[in-house]
Amino acid sequence: MDHTQPSLSESEAQRVLARAAEIDAQGGPSVPLERLRLAALEAGLTPAAFEAALAEVREARIAPLPPANPWPRLARYAGAIVGTGVVLVAGASVLNDVESAWLVRKLLDPVALGLGAALAMRFKVRPLAILLGGLAVATGAEFLMDMWAGQPAIRGAEPHFGLMIAGVAGVLLGSLLRRSSGGPDAQPETVAQPVRESTPPCPTDAAMIVSAGWRRLLLMPSIAPYLLLAMLVGALPVAAHAQSPDDEKAVIAIADSALAAITRGDAVAFTDLMIPEAMLYPTSTRGGVTMYRVRSREAQRAAGISGVVERGFAPWARVSGGVAVVWMPYDLYVNGSWSHCGADVFTLVKSAGAWRIASMAWSAEQPPVCEKHPAGPPARP
């Protein structure tokens, strides 16, 4: 018996493939065995060679793959979520514990979200990476706009929500375009093969995580247009509610003048900034109960002010016609000792072309509910 393996020449193999393609087109996904034998004879193959090839194909049939083990994938997702949570909690702790300028604190948002996105990329959890990457782009764009304006440029839930959607959509679109154009994120076109689950990497090397994840997600060339898109979309609500920068500066200057008069102990100058009907509403919280008092302009003028240093910072203003609101965080020292912090809220009206205070309300709290001045304690006289 001849135990040698039958073989085909290159030309014969080409004829077989061409004929098989014709039969496949005519007969659908399955080919009757007799038709295949007839095709082999038409191609000039011997019956022995055909039967030997048929036996090899039957013996080489691959058994169905066992169900994929879901635990490595679940572990990868859990590792990415836990790692991202650790990064975000650490960022929140820094925000609460570190006394820094509001703009520096705002920079920590895109940094923490970007590190979380890098972790997700490292763990190959693409949906989480796109979400966190988009939020990092949105908060980064907001930081740039705030830095340009010198104060919070976006206020209100709707503009923030729109900016976040724009950021996530930009990163998602960039990722899809990169995959469709054959970039590093593209999937190779291959036949179905068994998927080998790998052990999820352990995020112990911070430099490796940043270089492998941050670079792919945030430094890829295609992200620049989508960052610009996020900034433009986020700026639309701001433009829709555009207000005069001169009016903003004017009403903030009135609030600054009020605090400066309080610090000088000049009750007359302080109340001269108000309309005659102005009212003041100091509030305080004790034992979980918030209370308020009402004080008229005349009562404040008569009471006087002594030994108080009140400093405001990071104000923002909204102006509509002849009405304006200024929100200004502050801290307060009495006779050189720490007292409290909170927020001053000024309502102003425009009269005879000049802005004047119609009402003033303020809270009195203690950190971390409120913030101390980023410059530290005031200089002693």
Question: pLDDT tens digits, residue range 22-78?
Answer: 655 555 555 667 777 777 777 777 777 777 777 776 666 545 556 666 667 667 667
245-362: which CATH number, 3.40.50.720, 3.10.450.50, 3.40.50.1000, 3.40.190.290? 3.10.450.50
Can you name the residues that pair with 104 across neighbouring β-strands? none
pLDDT for residue 328 is more than 50: yes
Q: Which residue has the tokens 């309502």?
A: 347
CA-nearest of 43, 41, 129, 44 to 84 is 129
**282 vs 196 pLDDT, higher one:** 282
DSSP string, 41-64: HHTT--HHHHHHHHHHHHHTPPPP
pLDDT tens-digit series, residues 115-161: 777 777 777 777 888 888 888 888 888 888 877 766 677 766 777 78
**129 vs 235 pLDDT, higher one:** 129
Q: How are beta strands 274-286 and 308-312 bridged, if at all?
A: unpaired
d(CA 330, CA 362): 9
CA-nearest of 155, 115, 114, 120 to 137 is 114
Name the pLDDT band for 245 (thresholds 50, 70, 90): confident
DSSP string, 117-146: HHHHHHTT-HHHHHHHHHHHHHHHHHHHHH
Q: How many CA atoms lie within 13 A of 299 on its CB side?
A: 9
d(CA 211, CA 204): 13
Q: What residue segments make up the domains of the chain, in order of their start?
A: 10-59, 70-188+196-240, 245-362
Q: How many CA atoms lie within 13 A of 367 on its CB side?
A: 14
> What confidence score (pLDDT) does residue 127 get?
82
Can you name the residues that pair with 356 across neighbouring β-strands? 349
Q: How many CA atoms lie within 13 A of 286 on its CB side?
A: 4
pLDDT for residue 208 is more than 50: no
Q: What angle do CA 323, 328, 332 make, to 5 degrees?
A: 135
At residue 345, the 3 state secondary structure works out as strand
Whether this model's pTM surpasses 0.85: no
> What confidence score (pLDDT) does residue 35 get?
73
DSSP string, 263-280: HHT-HHHHHHTEEEEEEE
Name the pLDDT band for 253 (thresholds 50, 70, 90): very high
At residue 338, the 3 state secondary structure works out as strand
